[in-house]
Amino acid sequence: MAGLFEKQTEAYLDARPTYPSHYYSMLANRTSSHSLAWDVGTGNGQAAIGVAHHYQQVIATDISQAQLKLAKPHPRVRYLHTPLSLSDDDLVKLIGGENSVDLVTVAQAVHWFDLPRFYSVVHRVLRKPDGVFAVWGYNDFDITPEIDAALKGFHDTTLPYWNDNIKHVFDGYQSLAFPFEDMGLGREGKPLKVDIPKQLSFEGVLGMLKSWSAVVTAKEKGVDLLCESVVEGLETVWGGSKRIRHGAYKGFMLAGKPRS
């Protein structure tokens, strides 16, 4: 899976939405200590840097070295490559040890993980009883009815090329197992809706579509889902490539504390 993301790294970096600052403040308000946080699947480091405004140190990890090479530096963020071959015990030591982490975050990535294994590590590193674990993602645009319909039509053409893990994103993490104590910020089966407002350019949205793993996979199989005619059709509905639209990414969050 790391190889897939390395093929789309630059488009992914340019297209990803900016998470609102209140995501981080509302999570930080739920932890009694603000010494150490762990951002997992950090990608370009956006979430790690947001968390760093509230915590003394952030360990930001990713299995993709290509993503980490493009991560933004920050004095309180330490970026680490964590290959899948790393043992759970070594990973726990690398992050800070048992019962050491105040906040664990995963932005638009947890659906790719081996959940039972990852959740076990999260339980081990979270500080008890006040450590907080939060995951969030986004799965759609909300721009205008006409543009939304056109983008849905394009999305439908990508369905045969998605990995099975992406089903959790499609349903807004409603089917994602999340065995953590409810703290009022989304729970298993009922994620919190946290939309992400955004000024959107056509080129930015096109970059997002190009970064989709299904689009990359289809192209490797000889199918260009974003051929010239498709792009032209989307551009026409958009109202021209230079037009800026106000919209939102449809976001969702699950957050909880370790169960005793």
Q: Does 220 fall in a domain?
A: no
Q: Does 233 fall in a domain?
A: no
Residue type, 194: V
Write the CATH number for 57: 3.40.50.150
- Over 60: is that where the pLDDT of 171 sits? yes
Write the DSSP assignment of 48-63 as a string of letters.
HHHHHTTSSEEEEEES
Q: For position 76, what pLDDT does the model report?
A: 98
Q: What is the pLDDT of residues 92-150, one digit of tens each?
A: 999 999 999 999 999 999 998 999 999 999 999 999 999 999 999 998 889 999 999 99
Q: What is the pLDDT of residues 182-240, one digit of tens each?
A: 999 999 999 999 889 888 889 888 988 998 889 999 999 999 999 999 999 999 999 99
Query: Domain residues for 188?
Result: 2-143+163-199+248-257
Respond yes or no on whether the N-terminal peptide bond of residue 129 is cis (omega within 30° of 0): yes
Q: Give the ranges where 126-173 is alpha helix by DSSP (H).
A: 145-158, 167-170
Q: Does 222 fall in a domain?
A: no
How many domains does the chain divide into?
1
Q: Does 7 fall in a domain?
A: yes
Q: Does 239 fall in a domain?
A: no
Q: For position 16, what pLDDT does the model report?
A: 65
Q: Does 243 fall in a domain?
A: no
Closest by CA position to 27, among listed 248, 190, 260, 257:
257
Name the CA dihedral angle for 40, 41, 42, 43, rounded to a multiple of 10 degrees.
Answer: 180
Q: Identify the band that residue 9 occupies on the pLDDT scale cut at 50, 70 and 90.
A: very low
The residues that bridge with 249 in the sheet, in sequence order, are 141, 196
What is the average pLDDT across 147-170? Answer: 93
Q: Does 235 fall in a domain?
A: no
Model confidence, pTM? 0.88
Q: Does 188 fall in a domain?
A: yes
Q: What is the pLDDT of residues 17-60, one digit of tens each?
A: 789 899 999 999 999 999 999 999 999 899 999 999 999 999 99
**Across all residues in the chain, what is the average pLDDT?**
92
